[in-house]
A and B are shown apart, each in its own frame.
Chain A
Amino acid sequence: MIEFLKKHYEIVEKAPRLYKLQIESDKLVEILSSVSINSNFITLSQIACTDWIEDEVFALNYILTTKERDKNLMVEVRISRVHCSLPTLLNLYPQAQVMERDLHEMYGINFRGNDTLYDFALENWNEIPPLRREFDTLAYVNEHFDFRIGREDNKDVKAEVKRRKAQAKESKDGK
């Protein structure tokens, strides 16, 4: 099966049972339909997104699994961070509905054709999507929460632990 795909697409073998295919975003639906018809990579197990803020792209990996669950194929699509939009895969894989909804909430990616992109885990969220790397989590927390007294002594204690251990050792040797 993988031989058939290798004939038509540039597939890279990343590991013994892991293959990778990099494609353009406008050919996504076309290529994935072809893969699901012509090979036994029939299950979409997850959509993983990486935020490459340096290159100003999102890298989305559609991870497909065979019927026997023995091989994985990663189909990578790179899209711009600014106008991030992709066609939905609802017609091919029904389970993509939840995954796309999650990605829409966490990265702000618009999936054209998926009409369930409303609040999922975050309710009443008015900031920029929290898993984008320009979102400063610590600044947000400091602005919106006040901490209980006692939290401020939460410092790096490695040096102090080292000093105490040395002190204990000294006193032990002295005896």
Chain B
Amino acid sequence: MPENTQEGFIDQQKVLDNEEYSIKNTQSIIQKAVDWFRARSMFVLAYGTGCGAIEMPPIFTSRYDIERLGVVGVATPRQADILIVSGYCSYKTLKRVIRSYEQMNEPKYVIGLGSCTINGGMYWDSYNTIKKLDEYLPVDMYINGCMPRPEALIEGFVKLQDNIRNAKSEAGYIQYRENNAFYRANQEKIFGKNTTPTFEENFAGMNQ
């Protein structure tokens, strides 16, 4: 696979950024309008996994006030659109994160905050911390840094809004639904068969 090399990855990004290849051209006008509205109303689940969670209170309070971009914090996964995995994610936390993610209603997006979600960061040789978040959950936006400033997180939100509005790439939740076997296999590699209820059970009634 070409995307397994660094050059291949860069080429793939170029293709995704190109206007001609974007999904936008194949979308209906209603879908475009829906995406436009959707980008202006993002509800974030108030859940912090690691040390990066300390960057979220300044964003939601008066200093940076991200509500002006339509980003609001909510209490439960059922109401949320966005899950921020903020910092390192241990096995025990990851299990809870997956449960929360599967309870969220579609459309839903995942933001990986900090170096630890990208390649392990300073926990690269830890026995209990995952190294690549996108093996277990589809990540829509990565924000690197250890740890990123609130400005970086705001830029990540703006980029994600841009991606949603212009439908530059396929959203993560669609990938999670379509390639569920891949994600489930990776999750079972570390949890065994204990990750109940399964995604199929959750969505059994959806296709009928």
Listed in ascending order, the chain A residues whose CB lies under 8 Å from chain B are 121-124, 127, 130, 135, 137-138, 140-141, 144-151, 154
Is A122 touching B92 in the complex (CB atoms < 8 A)?
yes
CB of B194 closer than 8 Å to a CB of A: yes
Task: List 12 A-B pairs, Cβ < 8 Å.
Answer: A124-B191, A124-B192, A137-B127, A140-B127, A141-B126, A141-B127, A145-B131, A147-B124, A148-B119, A150-B119, A151-B124, A154-B124
Distance between B119 CB and nearest chain A CB, rounded to angstroms:
4
Say yes or no: is B201 at the interface (Cβ < 8 Å to chain A): no
Q: What is the CB-to-nearest-CB distance from A35 to chain B, in angstroms, rounded to a whole number?
A: 36
Is B118's beta carbon under 8 Å from chain A? yes
The answer, yes or no, to whether B27 is at the interface (CB within 8 Å) is: no
Most buried by B among A121, A135, A141: A141
A122 contacts B128, C-beta separation under 8 Å: yes
CB pair B92 A138 closer than 8 Å: no
- The docked-state distance in angstroms from the alpha carbon of A100 to that of B83 is 35
Please report whether the interface of chain A is mostly helix, strand, loop or mixed according to DSSP.
loop
Docked CA distance A127–B95 (Å): 19
**B1 CB, nearest partner CB in chain A, Å:** 12
Chain B residues closer than 8 Å to A140, beta-carbon distance: 127
Q: Residues of B contacting A144 with CB < 8 Å?
A: 190
Interface residues in chain B, defined as those with a beta carbon under 8 Å from any beta carbon in chain A = 4-6, 9, 90-92, 95, 118-120, 124-128, 130-132, 190-192, 194
A122 contacts which chain B residues (CB < 8 A)?
91-92, 128
Which residues does chain A contribute within 8 Å of B194, judged by CB atoms? 124
Contact between A137 and B126, CB atoms less than 8 A apart: yes
Q: How far is the CB of B8 from chain A (nearest CB, A)?
A: 9
B124 to chain A, nearest CB (A): 7
Bound-state CA distance A145–B136 (Å) is: 13
A149 and B4 form a contact (CB under 8 A): yes
Shortest distance between the CB of B7 and any CB in chain A (Å):
10
A127 cross-chain contacts in B, Cβ below 8 A: 127
- Is there contact, CB below 8 Å, between A148 and B118? yes
Please list the 4 inter-chain residue pairs (A to B) with the smallest Cβ-Cβ separation, ordered nearest first.
A148-B119, A145-B131, A130-B127, A141-B125
C-alpha gap A135/B92 in the complex (Å): 20
Closest partner residue, chain B, to A126 (CB atom): B192
> A146-B132, A147-B132 given. 14 additional CB < 8 A pairs?
A121-B128, A124-B190, A124-B194, A130-B128, A137-B126, A138-B125, A140-B127, A141-B126, A145-B130, A147-B120, A148-B119, A148-B131, A149-B9, A150-B6
